Structure 1
Amino acid sequence: MTDTPIARTPAEQALLRNLDLLVDGKISDWVNLFTPDGVLEFPYAPPGWPDRFQGHAAIHDHMRKFPEHLSVTFHNIRFHPVSDPELVIAEFDGEGTVLSSGRAFRQTYISVIWTQDGRITRYRDFWNPVQLMEALGGAEAATRAVQS
């Protein structure tokens, strides 16, 4: 990651660690950032795509092939002030490459993450799936990648 801000709270630290592990493709370590019953949500998932995963097994099953499909970097991370030290709201930009095609994509994210004792209890990830779908070669190819 470039231009990484200083994390002031455990929740902010969890977000930065989350991004580092995605960049490194360390999905098992990434899943372990969550509590055993943690939730990962994608409110803008396209129709037919799953939008909620709960527990380590479900989250790992969904994300396990991420490093086989995508190479990503994140930058321009901005934390928004909140009064709860176990909550982080952040905006950041991502750039990536679809490994099978070499197609590049850009994405702007808004993440809302609740933590407990430094571990993620709920992660709501707001991003535009159309940009990723186009980079993966269209809706059908993207669905196959997500469901494989």
Structure 2
Amino acid sequence: MELVDRFLAAVVSPDPGALADCYAERVVIEMPFAVPGLMPARLETTREELRTRFRAGTAVRRYTDLSNVRVHECADGSTVIVEYDVNGLMHATGERFVLRFAMVMTLEDGLIAHTRDYADPIAGARALGRLPELVAALGGRPS
């Protein structure tokens, strides 16, 4: 599927803002495992706002490559499930990380119009150095 191939290539592109070109002008992103206070569980946004967000992330980290990619096309033709691990590098520390994702994408007119993104919030907080914020958001105190 061309859009999924383009999406996966853009995830590790030198210009992550190009990833936004895979999305519809208006998009809904749901994150069922989002931790309240750190990330919204639902985001209604635009392609250009995503472009800005994706590019801003490059100040902190660089996604270097993908592994364990699996694509599942659904019978309805407008839904695709993409599983992948993104390998990256934190700029400040040089530390390498791996984040696992499963995304349920709804496609309209050859673009991503809606996603449900499943990711491990602990791994994400660890990679970004935000474990204390995660613990606080969960109602605990950092040790």
TM-score, L = length of structure 2:
0.78
| Larger RCO, structures 1/2 (Cα 8 Å, 6+ apart) | 1
> Post-superposition shift, 1:108?
1.8
Aligned to 2:56: 65
**Structure 1 runs (4+) greater than 4 angstroms displaced:** none
Q: CA RMSD in A?
A: 2.1
Matches of residues 49-64 of structure 1 in structure 2 within 5 Å?
Answer: 49-51=39-41, 52-64=43-55
Structure 1: gaps of 5 or more residues: 1-6, 8-12, 143-148
Q: % of aligned pairs identical? A: 24
Deviation of 1:120 (Å): 0.8
* Equivalences for residues 1-148 of structure 1 within 5 A: 7=1, 13-48=2-37, 49-51=39-41, 52-72=43-63, 73-139=65-131
1:36 offset after TM fit, Å? 0.9
Q: Cα–Cα, structure 1 residues 84 and 25, in superposed 2: closer, same or farther, change >3 Å?
A: farther
Which protein shows a greater Rg?
A: 2
C-alpha distance in structure 2 between counterparts of 1:105 and 1:91, whole Å: 17
Which is strand-richer, 1 or 2?
2
| Superposed CA offset, 1:63-108 (max 9, x none) | 2312222222212211224102221012122221111111221222
Paired residue type of 1:21 = A
